[in-house]
Chain A
């Protein structure tokens, strides 16, 4: 057995063992043991995944394990990448959960489902037949559903989130199921090998692609099937949110790459234009909603939609280039997309864990009630700061490298002959740039309003730092962010191998050790040198400010407050007020509901006693697309109530008349 096989088997065994351990050990040591087991399982998975992206492979077939179609697993470079990412997130989430789970979610069921969720997520990219894949996919949905429901006793919103998630994930499953079954029926076999060899007519291939794309996009939180994501991710316990938002959504991307690229073998340009378009719309819409959001975890959830959108822009561009024979650009775009998957996993798990730490320390995740956490929770503040920098696509942040690569691919794609690329590429460049700008605003808001300035509530005032294991979890995720930001060249060669699986023999698009050099097109970037230069500039500036001559001229004084007395927390920017300019700019898109109540003194209508301002930014896509559907379903249900008046005779009568009617039809037709 090679390293890939050993790692995967050990990971699955450790995860299963943790689930069993959670069932038998008493409450006190349970979270620690489960956390350790999950982290170890994740570490083994990282080993297996890295080995697989390094060229090792592993295949096993267990025909007796499941009736009818058996289980067949195969780990290749593409699967290995996603196994490694999932494993990495599982390590930090497991460590974080060791003390986070002590508060209300240390029960047997939640703790045993948690490692199972990780194992199932590891198995999805390894599945090598339609049956195995669908079983793992459904198990992933079910286990995550149970985890989202973990805190349903504490908060009533959880129940609603679970209902949304349950319905949408199963609709997605149905879509994927139909797509893959049509595919398998036409291919005459259930294994991925048979699917690869299948010769489908363009129409059937298009139907298969669109059906599976719908299901996979819904899992990745892509518009317009994203409605579950900003509900379920915030309501889950924070380390589960990290796993869902940083690992599970990636598997939607995996599905699109596997089915569209690997199994269907590329396909025509319109498929990938569709992917690119969905990604672009999701990226802008997601980050816009995130910028408006005042709930820390909801903001992070919408940011997931944005980042998955960017990944799909890269994937779509890669497919588009591959279909027009531009192998170099396809390799570059795909490398950018996959690097963004890795980067997003690292910073989103860090951010969700930091949000969990804030929730643990203050009891709230409402940004308007936070602030001033820097004093009480210095490590968490630093961790969120690193995460926010990583997420905001600014050098030396983590997302900057992948978005730079993506922009390079799109910019050079303009030169590719063809009407579609000539129109789409410039728009896509604008979309990525707009997204990056809004992301900066969003994370400045999240960090500045949430962590700096003065505390806005008693909870934020009395915040205390989280236990050590939670900090260690965040530290690991933060270290991953930093390493990926400074030395992305470590993972790029592996990504070229992964790209070869998706679109077949792509040249390595990016070379170089410290300095990234794009092959085939002009473009050079050195994240490490850039970071060093920035650091040097900061050091020089600080030194200049603190220099003895400058220091002597400074004097201490009270901040100028317009004569209004000492500054209080109520004078600060809130998350709502910070987003107000953006809300005005994008008024037509977000259409917020504003509610201003002005209360006058009785003596004079000119003297204002109080002003109350309320803003609600409803999800507009949800309102236009989901509410009519829900209204129809509701009316249908109401009509159904008319049929059911509670009389047993009536219910029996329905059966009787239907039976007699069917028999009469049978007699007449025969």
Chain B
């Protein structure tokens, strides 16, 4: 792969990452959100694959394959299963911040990410580190999703967005993370998703819905 081709491909993958994050903020149907999330997982895997191809490292290829399997395969599948089990509530009905404002906030967060990442980029300027702000922006957007969306499933997607963002930053700054580290992170994420899924099921059994604000009654007064 030529250098220009590598840079183009890298930026394309990063662009897809950011775009999918924004789309997740925009759409309300949970099924669509999960599909977009799977696409983001694929973009992240592509990013890993591009780095692997650029460095010609077999270990990074393995990491890329793992990311593809987990983030574009297993996690969306788990989420979809949770959605099917939940039945009716397939839409994010009332986000705490409406969609238009959310998109504006995403723009602001992206700018903040660019502003904050400047010292990181300045440490070792290279095509890969130039794209670091994208990862930071995805983390911030993920956090924003966590804060503003009511459904437990959207919360889960928000958490996974943050994790995708962190992985992106890790890839772009270090040009490939060790397989062991990556595997550790995967296990963590998988465990969190499983735990949250059980929590969602329990919440539905207890409150008849997965609106997190129903938990408010659990506070001791």
Which residues of chain A have a CB within 8 Å of any CB of chain B? 644-649, 652-653, 655-656, 659-660, 663-664, 666-667, 670
List residues of chain A with CB within 8 A of the CB of B62.
none
Least distance between B217 CB and chain A CB atoms (Å): 7
8 A–B contacts, CB within 8 A, in A order? A647-B213, A648-B213, A649-B148, A649-B150, A656-B144, A659-B143, A660-B140, A663-B112
Are B112 and A667 in contact (CB-based, < 8 A)? yes
Which residues of A sit under 8 angstroms from B212, Cβ to Cβ? 647-649
A653 with B116, Cβ < 8 A, contacts A646-B219, A648-B212 known: no
| Complex interface bits, B193-221 against A, C-beta within 8 A gives 1, otherwise 0 | 00000000000000000001101111100
Q: Which of B86-119 contact A (CB under 8 A)?
A: 96, 109, 112, 115-116, 118-119
| CB-CB nearest 5 A-B residue pairs | A646-B219, A646-B216, A667-B115, A648-B212, A652-B147
Q: How far is the CA of A647 from the CA of B218 in the complex (A)?
A: 10
Prevailing SS type, chain B contact patch: helix
B146 within 8 A of A: yes
CB proximity of A643 to chain B, nearest CB, Å: 12
Interchain CA distance A664-B146 in the complex, whole Å: 20
Tell me the smallest distance from the CB of B13 to a CB of chain A, in Å. Answer: 25
Residues of A within 8 A of B116 (CB): 663, 666-667
The answer to whether A652 and B146 touch across the interface, beta carbons within 8 angstroms, is yes
Please state if A656 and B143 are interface contacts (CB–CB under 8 Å).
yes
Q: Encode B115-149 as 1/0 by CB contact (under 8 A) with A.
A: 11011000000000000000000001001101110
Contacting pair A645 B219 (CB below 8 A): yes
Q: Which residues does chain B contribute within 8 Å of A649, judged by CB atoms?
A: 96, 147-148, 150, 212-213
Majority-rule SS of A interface residues: helix
Partner of A646, one of B140, B144, B150, B218: B218
What would 7 more interface pairs be, CB under 8 Å, given A647-B216, A664-B112, A670-B119?
Answer: A644-B219, A645-B216, A645-B219, A646-B216, A652-B147, A656-B144, A660-B112
A645–B115 Cα distance when bound, in Å, is 34
- B158 nearest in chain A by CB position: A652
Please indicate the chain A residues that have their CB under 8 angstroms from the CB of B215 in the complex: 646-648
Tell whether, in the assembled complex, residue A656 and residue B115 are in contact, meaning their CB atoms are under 8 Å apart: no
Give the CA-CA distance A343 to B86 in the complex, in Å: 75
A653 to B219, CA, bound (A): 17
Complex-state Cα separation, A663 to B147, whole angstroms: 17
Known contacts A663-B116, A666-B116; A653/B147 CB under 8 A: yes
The contact size tier of chain B is 20 to 34
Q: A308 to B212: give the CA distance in the assembly, Å.
A: 57
Q: Given the complex, which residues of A lie within 8 Å of B213, measured CB to CB? A: 647-649
Contacts of A666 in B (CB 8 A): 116
Q: Which residues of B contact A (CB under 8 A)?
A: 96, 109, 112, 115-116, 118-119, 140, 143-144, 146-148, 150, 212-213, 215-219
- Residues of the A chain whose Cβ atoms lie less than 8 Å from the Cβ of B115: 667
From A646, A659, A670, residue with most partner B Cβ within 10 Å: A646
Q: A663-B116, A666-B116, A667-B115 are in contact. Are A646 and B217 (CB under 8 A)?
A: yes
Q: Given the complex, which residues of A lie within 8 Å of B118, measured CB to CB? A: 670
The residue on B at minimum CB distance from A654 is: B147
Bound-state Cα–Cα, A670 to B212, Å: 38
CB distance from A668 to the nearest CB of B (A): 9
With a cutoff of 8 Å between Cβ atoms, the chain B residues found around residue A647 in the complex are: 212-213, 215-216
A653 to B149, CA, bound (A): 11
When distances are taken between beta carbons in the complex, the residues of chain B under 8 Å from A667 are: 112, 115-116
Nearest-neighbor residue (CB-CB) of B149 within chain A: A649
The CB with the most chain A CB atoms within 10 A, among B143, B144, B147, B148, is that of B147
A600 to chain B, nearest CB (A): 45
Name the CB-closest residue of A to B212: A648
Distance (whole angstroms) from the CB of B14 to the closest CB of chain A: 20
B217 engages A656 (CB within 8 Å): no
Query: CA of A648 to CA of B156 in the docked complex: distance in angstroms?
Result: 13
CA distance A438 to B141 in the complex (A): 72
Smallest beta-carbon distance B191→chain A, Å: 20
How many angstroms from the CA of A653 to the CA of B144 in the assembled complex? 8
Measured between beta carbons, the chain B residues less than 8 angstroms from A652 are: 143, 146-147
Q: How far is the CB of A251 from chain B (nearest CB, A)?
A: 40
B96 — which chain A residues lie within 8 A by C-beta?
649
CB distance from A644 to the nearest CB of B (A): 7
Cα(A396)–Cα(B144), bound, Å: 79
Cα–Cα distance between A645 and B219 once the two chains are bound (Å): 7
Residue of A nearest to B116 (CB): A663
Name the distance in Å between B162's Cβ and chain A's nearest Cβ: 11
Measured in the bound complex, the distance between the Cα atoms of B146 and A666 in whole Å is 23
- With A and B bound together, what is the CA distance between A653 and B150 in angstroms? 13
Bound CA–CA A652/B140 (angstroms): 12
Give the residues in chain B near A660, CB-CB below 8 Å: 109, 112, 140
- For B152, the closest partner residue in chain A by CB is A648
Give the residue name and chain of the B residue nearest to A660 (CB).
Answer: B112
Contacts of A663 in B (CB 8 A): 112, 116
B93 to chain A, nearest CB (A): 15
What distance in Å separates the Cβ of B110 from its nearest Cβ neighbour in chain A? 12
Q: B119: which A residues are within 8 A, CB to CB?
A: 670
Q: Chain B: which residue is nearest A659 at the CB level?
A: B143
Contacts of A659 in B (CB 8 A): 140, 143
* Chain B positions within 8 Å of A653 at CB level: 147
**Chain A residues near B140 (CB, 8 Å)?**
659-660
Could you say which residues of chain A place their CB within 8 Å of the CB of B219?
644-646
List A contacts of B143 (CB < 8 A): 652, 655-656, 659
In angstroms, Cα B140 to Cα A660, docked, is 8
For the complex, what is the distance from the CA of A647 to the CA of B213, rounded to whole Å? 6
**A656/B112 in contact, CB under 8 A:** no
Residues of A within 8 A of B112 (CB): 660, 663-664, 667
Bound Cα distance from A645 to B216, whole angstroms: 7
CA A659 – CA B147 in complex, angstroms? 12
Q: What separation, in Å, do the CA atoms of A664 and B111 have in the docked complex?
A: 11
* Chain A residue contacts of B218, Cβ below 8 A: 646
B92 CB, nearest partner CB in chain A, Å: 13
Contacts of B144 in A (CB 8 A): 656
**A648 / chain B contacts, CB cutoff of 8 Å:** 212-213, 215
CA distance A647 to B116 in the complex (A): 30
Chain B hits for A645, CB < 8 A: 216, 219
User: In whole angstroms, what is the CA distance A656 to B144 when docked?
Assistant: 7
Task: Please name all residues of chain B whose beta carbon is closer than 8 Å to the beta carbon of A644 when the two chains form the complex.
Answer: 219
What's the nearest-Cβ distance from chain A to residue B134, in Å? 16
Closest to B146 in A: A652
Q: How far is the CA of A237 from the CA of B82 in the complex (A)?
A: 55
User: B150's closest neighbor in chain A, by CB?
Assistant: A649
Q: How far is the CA of A644 from the CA of B219 in the complex (A)?
A: 9
CA of A648 to CA of B217, assembled, Å = 11
* CA distance in complex: A648, B148 (Å): 10
A660 to B215, CA, bound (A): 26
Q: Across the two chains, which residue of chain B brings its CB closest to A670?
A: B119
Residue of chain A at shortest CB distance from B105: A660
Whether the Cβ atoms of A656 and B216 lie closer than 8 Å is no
Q: How far is the CA of A667 from the CA of B217 in the complex (A)?
A: 39
Cα(A663)–Cα(B137), bound, Å: 12
Closest to B148 in A: A649
Tell me which of A647, A649, A664 has the highest count of chain B C-beta atoms within 10 A of its own C-beta.
A649
A-side contacts of B146, CB under 8 Å: 652, 656
Chain A residues whose C-beta falls within 8 Å of the C-beta of B148 in the assembled complex: 649
CB of B66 to closest CB in A, whole Å:
29
A629 to chain B, nearest CB (A): 24
Q: Smallest CB–CB gap between B102 and chain A, Å?
A: 13
State the CA gap A656–B212 with chains docked (Å): 17
Task: Give the distance in Å from the alpha carbon of A652 to the alpha carbon of B212 in the complex.
Answer: 12
- Measured in the bound complex, the distance between the Cα atoms of B143 and A660 in whole Å is 10
- In the complex, how many angstroms separate the beta carbon of A93 from the nearest chain B beta carbon? 41
Q: What residue in chain A is nearest B220 (Cβ atoms)?
A: A646
